[in-house]
Amino acid sequence: MTIFEATAHLKNALVSVYDVREAKIITDMAMESLTSLKRIDRLIRTSQLLSEKEKQKFNEMKTDLLSLVPIQYVIGQAWFGKNAFIVNHSVLIPRPETEELVNWILNDYGTNTNSLKTILDIGTGSGCIALSLGLPFLEVDILGIDISEAALKVAQQNSVALKRPIRLQQLDFLDRTAWDSLGSFDCIVSNPPYIKQSEKAMMHENVLSYEPHQALFVEENDPLCFYTAIAEFATNHLILGGSVYVEINEALGAETMVSFNATGFETHLKKDLQGKDRMIKAWKK
């Protein structure tokens, strides 16, 4: 089987479960991972035969993709900003709206880190937020916390791969008795679980079947539990002049602001590039 034949075969197979555009994108990502060749190089080498090892891997990838396993899990990698992050089923696949949250923080601080010495990333997962903030701010001390030991192992792998050390700690953030072990921070950032159980019906099957539910869903009767906890934590653990940045459920923007306003924070609600209420900055004067 040549590179050309494998590419055509996979794209035609994926059209049965994805639209044409998405099938083409997924095929391109899969073939680049399989051959270690960029698209332009594969076009030059269309007649190059796959090795026996590559053919076996190709068949495994096709089976997974037709079962709706996200391509990022299949190839073990997801791009976030300018960097590739290791991902597996223990962590969420980084999404563009989370990049917007990171960019908001980077734009706010610019190149002036005089007021930015410490950052806490609550629910760090793959470490994509913590490391994307840490790479341009090399002198900043960053702590990423997560309830999942498996997720922290992925974050550590990414820290090593990107050559940006960060501190990592396993901790259940909703356990308020654990907060004293964390210290105080100039910036607190989080993309916490915020999807209500009733919203599952609106989600894609590949998310529901393969991404970690612990990082996605909250109880129906308390969908703002993490934001309430973050606001309470920040009251005593945010250094004077610091800010909190959180990604939010697009349907609960006003309610999430109230969670911070109730503890004395000023808030700014920001829309993402799709025009959806997606992130909040909170601070105290």
What is the pTM for the complete model shown? 0.94
Between CA 219 and CA 222 the distance in angstroms is 5
Residue 144, amino acid: G
pLDDT band at 111 (very low <50, low <70, confident <90, very high): low
pLDDT digit string, tens, across residues 55-103: 999 999 999 999 999 999 999 999 999 999 999 999 999 999 999 999 9
CA-to-CA dists, residue 159 to 173, 238, 255, angstroms? 22, 25, 35
pLDDT at 110: 85
pLDDT digit string, tens, across residues 220-255: 889 999 999 999 999 999 999 999 999 999 999 999
- Contact status, residue 280 vs residue 270, Cβ threshold 8 Å: yes
Between CA 153 and CA 147 the distance in angstroms is 12
Place of tokens 């794209």: 11
- Contact status, residue 113 vs residue 140, Cβ threshold 8 Å: yes
Most distant CA pair in the chain, distance:
65
Q: DSSP H helical segments within the chain, as ranges?
A: 3-14, 20-35, 39-44, 52-66, 71-75, 96-109, 128-134, 149-161, 205-210, 225-237, 253-261
pLDDT at 126: 98
